[in-house]
């Protein structure tokens, strides 16, 4: 799954196991660079997991 800085408005990410869906309603503008990542707390690449697996872009 992409990091939060790669997720774009109105995209929907889904869990393949339980079907949970997350819709992007606000894009992250703080991540993507080392300096910005440190200021927002994302020291490592963001990852959105559910049921032990990365969520995937729907469609």
The burial class, CB within 10 Å (0-12 / 13-18 / 19+), for 18 is: exposed
Tokens of 54: 């990365």
pLDDT tens, residue order, the chain (59 aa): 567 878 899 999 999 999 999 999 998 877 765 555 556 666 566 778 899 999 999 98
pTM of the model: 0.73
Q: Are 7 and 27 in contact (CB under 8 A)?
A: yes
List the beta bridge partners of residue 56.
14
pLDDT for residue 41: 62
Angle subtended at Cα 17 by Cα 51 and Cα 56, rounded to the nearest 5 degrees: 85
């Amino acid at each position: 799954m992409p990091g939060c800085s790669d997720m774009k408005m109105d995209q929907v990410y889904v869990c393949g196991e339980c079907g949970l869906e997350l819709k992007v309603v606000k894009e992250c503008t703080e991540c993507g660079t080392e300096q910005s990542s440190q200021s927002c707390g994302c020291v490592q690449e963001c990852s959105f997991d559910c049921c032990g697996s990365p969520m995937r872009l729907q469609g």
